[in-house]
Amino acid sequence: MENKEISRTLKLLSQLMELHNENPFKVKSTANASFKVDKLPFKLRDKSLSELETIDGVGKSTASKIWELLQNGSIEELNTLISMTPTGVLDMLSIKGLGPKKIIVIWQDLGIDNIGELYYACNENRLIEAKGFGSKTQEDIKKAIEFKMANSGKFLYASIEQYALNYQQQLHQHFQQLDSFTNTIITGDLRRKCEIIESLDILVISNNYPKLRDSFNQPENIENIITQEDSITFKDQNQLAVNIYFCRHENAGSRLFETTGNAKHVTIIQQMLKPGNFKTEEELYQSISLEYIEPELREGTNEIELAKNKRLPKLITYEDLKGTLHNHSTWSDGVHSIAEMAKYCRDTLKLEYLGMCDHSKTAVYANGLSIERVLQQHQEIDALNLKLAPFKIFKGIESDILGDGSLDYPDEILEKFDFVVASVHSNLKMDEEKATQRIIKAIENPYTTILGHPTGRLLLSRSGYPLDFKKVIDACAANKVIIEINANPLRLDLDWRWHQYALEKGVMLSINPDAHRNEGFLDMQYGVYVARKGGLAKEMCLNCLDLEQIESIFNSRKLQA
């Protein structure tokens, strides 16, 4: 069990304690422990009970609960509280903006115990007069419920990737026992590396596929399996749609093509094809004089036209990355020190440079750096660079874009950084015109190097603030500002659907992990996935430049400022 799962369990325990009027001290200490556990730089599963008890911010009582969770997979006190709570009330805890205090009013005072009734109550204006509510709060809750409804049955790519690989492996092993020539391939949304996954699609290739299909065992607790001649479909226990397709080796290319691309891409290509089967996808595209189109690009945008004209980009790979920018250390809200992160990047990831971008002073919630602390951090980086050379740590900052579009430090401080990532973290509810002008003003600041996570979205949780993307990208082109592809699987922002427009305007992109711990650097892989969907080649990716090249870019920009 990973620390994040332990942290989530403790958070739920604290919420239910509060919901059922437990001792406020117990509620607060459990909530604090949840926060602490998430930030620990070591794994709790490797610790003994006595070691857990010595961890700062945990304490004996919570340590015993963590130990119980690690040993048994559950906490008896939590199970008891869950059994006392209606399922619909538990569901309310997943709605943005609803904490235990508000849910107590909704449940106990208004008698509402499920999300459906709550949504109806919002439409009926029943929440407006309730204690602690008002028209704005009611509208926010209504929008949050609508967002949750719209995303039911959808999953982040990163949350489903390992599950899909494990399931494919289990199927492969089972079917190979019956036919050693069986091959299984993940297809569909996952093969296209979509940021949101709506189904797990697996193609099973075997000349004995009817026998394999009939051998399929119905998973536990699953009903309504639909079995057809060449497919099996069902929903798993997490409500994820699973489609298992079957075909013979002679038409593997045709079937893989059909099950991979989105509907528009598949339809257009099929209209161009002559009747027949293809063993490989390469043969299929070649038969109609098209370059092979990588799965990530098969979204029905402009990929077919590019393939006709032999103009498809050579897509970026993870191995093309030379360094990592936009990362947070213990100086602000990170888990690892700058030295620990630098050594991990140099020794484990074999990168050439690291860009530190701790939070700026306005981000007090994230221990943002005062001007004095900025100067202290720069001294530490200078000393580390002497020790770690030729590896280089760049002095960066994630500067908050303030409400009026200005950056978070005066020019005499901004000029001391090697590069500046400008990001919005507050006032997320501006209308499109105001939000766009705010961003453009930040882009026009001569010290802005990179525009960070442009929309502030959190996938399946928070839609980004509205922007006129063409104006924002045009401003980046005019001011030679790079746009970030934030590789955190919850963000993946800038959205890949705007990458092509940015590239056409000559705007470079940067795949930034926004890492707050060493493991966070690995998120760059997800950034690469969506960058490939957007058609990014390494030549237009900032952190594919080697150390000498990127130093040259940073230095020339500082001279221009």
Q: Which among 70, 50, 53 has a CA at the least distance from the CA of 10? A: 70
Q: Evaluate if residue 510 carries a pLDDT over 70.
A: yes
Which two structure tokens, joined as six digits, stand for 328? 């947070």
| Cβ-based neighbours of 422, under 8 Å, separated by 6 or more | 398, 399, 401, 407, 442, 443, 445, 448, 450, 451, 452
Helix axes 157-176, 524-533, angle to 10 degrees: 90
Q: Which residues pair with 394 in a beta bridge?
A: 355
Query: How far apart (Å, rounded) are the C-alpha atoms in residues 279 and 260?
Result: 15
Q: What is the 3-state secondary structure (H, E, C) of 444-489?
A: HCCCCCEECCCCCCECCCECCCCCCHHHHHHHHHHHCCEEEEECCC
| pLDDT(223) > 80 | no
Q: Over range 147-164, report the average pLDDT.
A: 88
β-bridge pairing 183-187 and 419-423 = unpaired
Q: 128: pLDDT confidence band, cut at 50, 70 and 90?
A: confident
DSSP code for 244: E
Angle CA(390)–CA(392)–CA(394) in degrees, nearest 5?
Answer: 165
**Least trusted range by pLDDT, from 290-299, 338-347, 451-460:** 451-460
Q: Residue 313, preceding bond cis, omega within 30 degrees?
A: no
526 and 493 Cβ atoms separated by less than 8 Å: no
pTM of structure: 0.86
Give the residue range(s) of CATH 3.20.20.140 domains in the chain. Answer: 318-560
Residue 367, number of CB atoms within 10 A of its CB: 16
318-332 burial, b if ≥16 CB within 10 A, otherwise e?
eebbbbbbbbbbbbb
Q: Are 357 and 394 in contact (CB under 8 A)?
A: no
Mean pLDDT of 375-401: 97
Cβ of 70: how many Cβ atoms within 10 Å? 16
Looking at residue 84, its pLDDT comes to 94
The whole-angstrom separation of Cα 531 and Cα 329 is: 25
User: Any idea what DSSP says for residue 538?
Assistant: G
Answer yes or no: is pLDDT of 524 > 90. Answer: yes
Helix (H) or strand (E) holding 328: none
Helix (H) / strand (E) containing 393:
strand 392-400
Contact assessment for residue 523 and residue 515, using Cβ atoms and an 8 Å cutoff: yes
Q: How many CB atoms lie within 10 A of CB 441?
A: 18
Q: Confidence band (pLDDT; 50, 70, 90) for 39?
A: confident
Q: Quick one: average pLDDT of 81-102? A: 91
Backbone angles phi, psi at 90, to 5 degrees: -60, -40
- Tell me the three state secondary structure of residue 504: helix
Interval 21-33: pLDDT, tens: 999 999 999 999 9
CB–CB of 376/370 below 8 Å? no
More confidently predicted of 427 and 547: 547
Tokens encoding 408 = 């978070």
Share of the chain above pLDDT 70, in %: 99
Q: Write the pLDDT tens digit of every residue in 182-197.
A: 999 999 999 999 999 9
Q: Any idea which residue has 């942290």 for tokens?
A: 7
Is the torsion defined by CA of 150, 153, 157, 158 positive or negative?
positive
| Span 46-76, pLDDT tens digits | 888 988 988 888 888 899 999 999 999 999 9
484 to each of 1, 49, 258, 431, 499, how far by Cα in Å? 32, 43, 33, 22, 10
Mean pLDDT over 405-419 rounds to: 96
Shortest CA distance to 451 belongs to which of 416, 490, 428, 420? 420
Residue 357 in this model has a pLDDT that exceeds 90: yes
- pLDDT band at residue 406 under the 50/70/90 scheme: very high
Q: Residue written as tokens 């045709």?
A: 254
Confidence band for 11, pLDDT divided at 50, 70 and 90: very high
pLDDT in tens, 527-546: 999 999 999 999 999 999 99
Q: How far is Cα 449 from Cα 445, in angstroms, rounded to an integer?
A: 9
Q: How many other CB atoms sit within 10 Å of the CB of residue 134?
A: 12
Specify the 3-state DSSP secondary structure of 306. helix
For the segment 266-282, the average pLDDT, to the nearest whole number, is 95
The CATH number of the structural domain formed by 3-85 is 1.10.150.110
**pLDDT band at 211; cut points 50, 70, 90:** very high
pLDDT beyond 90 at 135: no
User: What was the pLDDT predicted at 152?
Assistant: 78
The average pLDDT across 408-428 equals 94
Residue type, 5: E
Q: For the chain, what is the mean pLDDT?
A: 93
Under the banding of pLDDT at 50, 70 and 90, the label for residue 116 is confident
**Stretch 201-209: mean pLDDT, rounded?**
96
Give the three-class secondary structure for 169: helix
CATH (residue range 318-560): 3.20.20.140
pLDDT at 146 over 70: yes
More confidently predicted of 189 and 235: 189
Q: List the one residue out of 419, 495, 420 whose CA is nearest residue 458.
A: 495
Q: Which helix (H) or strand (E) holds 1?
A: none
pLDDT for the residue numbered 384? 98
Can you give the pLDDT at residue 256?
98
Question: 385: burial class by Cβ within 10 Å (0-12, 13-18, 19+)?
Answer: middle
For the residues 431-455, what does the mean pLDDT come to?
A: 96
Residue 224 confidence (pLDDT) above 80: no
Return the pLDDT at 221. 65
Domain with CATH 1.10.150.110 in the chain: 3-85
- Please say whether the beta carbons of 436 and 430 come within 8 A: no
> Which CATH fold would you assign to the domain 156-308?
Beta Polymerase; domain 2 (3.30.460)
Whether 345 has a pLDDT exceeding 70, the answer reads yes
Q: Is the pLDDT of residue 232 over 70?
A: yes
- Which residue type sits at 73? G
